[in-house]
């Protein structure tokens, strides 16, 4: 056991040195002057703007029109992923196949593998990863919900600022530019919208709507498009109504969060009560049971 622990310690030390060296080399290379790549469209780094070939999906038995694919596509859009969702589906299916094959090989060649890596550790880690891959809809929905709430808060702040600037003669582009300090998660998307505005404002707003990927973002973009075309007080009244809707949604989210927190605290508070019952009351109950059994 001591030899095995020393062996694991040496492997861990070597792995740490390799990771530290790789990070240091990467940091130094980042300081190197960059030259614009002529063949950037051929590199693997362009996956964010490329579509996965259908032949790759067919090899792993994936279809774009399948209900599971469409559901995950909508969830990824709500999580702010602008790349082709097929990349996620392809990676997920490949990991499931790879981990399954590794588990089968590990159990077939049990002794050689267990000599270096305990099967119990490898199997438990692989099963946890497989479980996370199979229940990905749960954590994707959670991420989308958290992001939607954050986007609603920022859209609410931007809408209030636009309403504050309603009496100003500034162009809607300038008003949105002044709203940038009130954003954090949405700032990159809003900056891109403002950069693409004078090329084609309508198309820029549509792309902005797709990047946000929430219902509140849809209504917000519709209001911006209306203000862009006809900047009148009627549309600012519509903006005021939608601000109230955003406020109600934020309040509902706060109430549901308070309920969840109080439920968790109630469960945590019950743990000492159970412990008290086990330590102090249960011995008396067990002794009483023994007494009644002896009387019978």
Q: What percent of the chain has pLDDT over 90?
A: 1
Q: Output 141 or 283, whichever has higher pLDDT.
A: 141
Q: What is the pLDDT of residue 130?
A: 82
How much of the chain exceeds pLDDT 70, in percent?
A: 70
Residue 238: the pLDDT is: 83
Higher pLDDT, 48 or 101: 101
Cα three-residue angle 293-295-296, rounded to 5 degrees: 65
Task: Reply yes or no on whether the pLDDT at 42 is more than 50.
Answer: no
What is the per-residue pLDDT for 119?
A: 60
- Region 32-38: what's the mean pLDDT? 56
Report the chain's C-alpha Rg in angstroms: 28
Residue with tokens 């497989």: 130
The listed range with the strongest mean pLDDT (22-31, 101-110, 201-210) is 201-210
Supply the DSSP symbol for 39.
T
pLDDT in the model for residue 1? 45
Per-residue model confidence as pLDDT tens digits over 172-193: 888 888 888 888 888 888 888 9
Q: Of the ranges 31-35, 121-125, 134-138, 266-270, which is most confident?
A: 134-138
pLDDT digits (tens, 9 = 90+) for 211-255: 888 888 888 888 888 888 877 777 888 888 888 888 888 888 877
Give the per-residue SS3 of 224-292: HHHHHHCCCHHHHHHHHHHHHHHHHHHHHHHHHHHHHHHHHHHHHHHHHHHHHHHHHHHHHHHHHHHHH
33: left (phi over 0), alpha (psi -120 to 50) or beta: beta
129 has a pLDDT exceeding 70: yes
Query: Where do the domains of the chain lie?
Result: 48-134, 148-251
Chain segment 63-118, per-residue pLDDT in tens: 888 888 888 888 888 887 878 888 888 888 888 888 888 777 777 766 665 565 56
What three-state secondary structure class fits 214? coil
Please state whether the predicted TM-score (pTM) of the whole model is above 0.85.
Answer: no
Nearest of 58, 54, 86 to residue 70 by alpha carbon: 86
pLDDT tens by residue, 137-151:
888 888 888 888 888
Average pLDDT, the chain: 77
Tokens of 115: 């000599």
Calpha distance 187→197 (Å, rounded) = 15
pLDDT band for 39, please (50, 70, 90 cuts). Answer: very low
Supply angle C-alpha 76, 79, 85, rounded to 5: 20
């Amino acid at each position: 056991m001591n030899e095995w622990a020393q062996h694991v310690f040496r492997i861990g030390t070597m792995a740490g040195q390799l990771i530290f060296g790789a990070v240091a080399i990467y940091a130094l290379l980042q300081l190197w002057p960059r030259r614009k790549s002529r063949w950037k469209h051929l590199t693997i780094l362009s996956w964010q703007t490329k579509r996965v070939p259908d032949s790759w999906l067919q090899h792993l038995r994936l279809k774009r029109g399948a209900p599971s694919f469409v559901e995950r596509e909508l969830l990824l859009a709500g999580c702010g992923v602008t790349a082709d969702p097929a990349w996620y589906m392809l990676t997920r299916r490949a990991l499931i196949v790879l981990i399954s094959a590794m588990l089968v090989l590990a159990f077939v060649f049990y002794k050689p593998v267990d000599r270096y890596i305990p099967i119990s550790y490898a199997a438990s880690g692989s099963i946890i990863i497989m479980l996370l891959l199979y229940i990905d809809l749960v954590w994707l929905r959670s991420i989308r919900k958290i992001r939607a709430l954050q986007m609603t808060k920022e859209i609410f702040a931007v809408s209030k600022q636009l309403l504050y600037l309603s009496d100003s003669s500034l162009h809607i582009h300038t008003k949105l530019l002044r709203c940038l300090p009130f954003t954090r998660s949405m700032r990159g998307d809003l900056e891109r919208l403002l950069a693409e505005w004078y090329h084609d404002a309508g198309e820029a707003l549509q792309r902005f709507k797709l990047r946000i990927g929430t219902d509140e973002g849809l209504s917000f973009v519709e209001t911006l498009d209306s203000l862009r075309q006809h900047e009148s007080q009627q549309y600012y009244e519509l903006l005021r109504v939608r601000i109230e809707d955003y406020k109600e949604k934020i309040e509902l989210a706060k109430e549901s969060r308070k309920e969840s927190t109080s439920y968790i605290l109630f469960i945590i508070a019950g743990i000492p009560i159970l412990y008290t019952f086990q330590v102090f009351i249960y011995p008396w109950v067990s002794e009483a049971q023994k007494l009644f059994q002896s009387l019978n």
